[in-house]
Amino acid sequence: MQIDVFTLVPHAFAWLTEQRPVATVLGTELDLRLFGYRDTTPLANGQVDDAPYGGGAGMVLRVDVAAAALDAVYGGVPDHRVIALTPQGRQLDQSVVAELAGEERITLLSARFEGFDERIVTHLCSDAISVGPYVLSGGELPAMVVIDSIARRLPGALGSEESAVEESFSAELDGGLEYPHYTRPAEFRGWPVPEVLLSGDHGRIEEWRRDQSRARTAP
């Protein structure tokens, strides 16, 4: 899968690319490309944003700058999904992650300050996605959230330390929340591990885990 990110801060992604799962699949299952708006801006002095028409505070990412960035990489608006990361977008959840992970290529556009000129969202993008009902200072963290959530689904992404088969929101748990986990010591400060987990009875353990998952998931 190829994920392209357009950003004002390409170096912000260094940490992500050094960590699993992204580091594990980079160059094999995942091709991650980072593009800086300033590298292709048609404006002088690396300008990428401007004051909002109608007045008010802040700076808005210019549509000609975003278009020039897409032109430079794809020769226009590409056929694959181009996703604006914005609080006004469709909220990311596990089903949206699964949908995106099924694509061969996606492009993520991030903004900073006041956000996108709306024409970027309506004319250059096919989707708009929000990572939650709160406002972050830039689209870099949302882009990393999208990339990480997709990367962990790619073949070979996860080591033996974790499993994506049975985890929160998975079909194995009927889309519900995962049951609690415990590890050694079996008792700490008088806080014991549930007896069933020490019983060695896999049938009872499985039943307990399902019950816990259902109880946590119920509204």
Ligand X SMILES: C[S@@+](CC[C@H](N)C(=O)[O-])C[C@H]1O[C@@H](n2cnc3c(N)ncnc32)[C@H](O)[C@@H]1O
Chain residues in the site for ligand X (CB under 6 A): 85-88, 110-112, 114-116, 130-132, 134-139, 142
Minimum CB separation from ligand X for residue 138, in Å? 5
Strand partners, 34: 5
Q: What is the DSSP letter of 76?
A: S
Minimum CB separation from ligand X for residue 57, in Å? 10
Run of H or E including 215: helix 202-217
Burial 39-72 (b: 16+ CB within 10 A, else e): ebbeeeeeebbeeeeeeeeebbbbbebbbbbbee
Instruction: Please say which residue, 25 or 66, places its beta carbon nearer to ligand X.
Output: 66
Q: At what angle do helices 94-101 and 140-151 cross, to 10 degrees?
A: 70
Strands (E), the chain: 2-7, 31-36, 49-50, 60-61, 81-91, 105-109, 115-116, 127-130, 187-188, 191-192
Instruction: Please say which residue, 37 or 208, places its beta carbon nearer to ligand X.
Output: 37
Minimum CB separation from ligand X for residue 60, in Å? 9
Instruction: Please say which residue, 24 or 110, places its beta carbon nearer to ligand X.
Output: 110
Minimum CB separation from ligand X for residue 62, in Å? 13
Minimum CB separation from ligand X for residue 142, in Å? 4
Instruction: Please say which residue, 41 or 130, places its beta carbon nearer to ligand X.
Output: 130
Check if the beta carbon of residue 57 is closer than 8 Å to that of residue 49. no
Instruction: Please say which residue, 115 or 176, places its beta carbon nearer to ligand X.
Output: 115
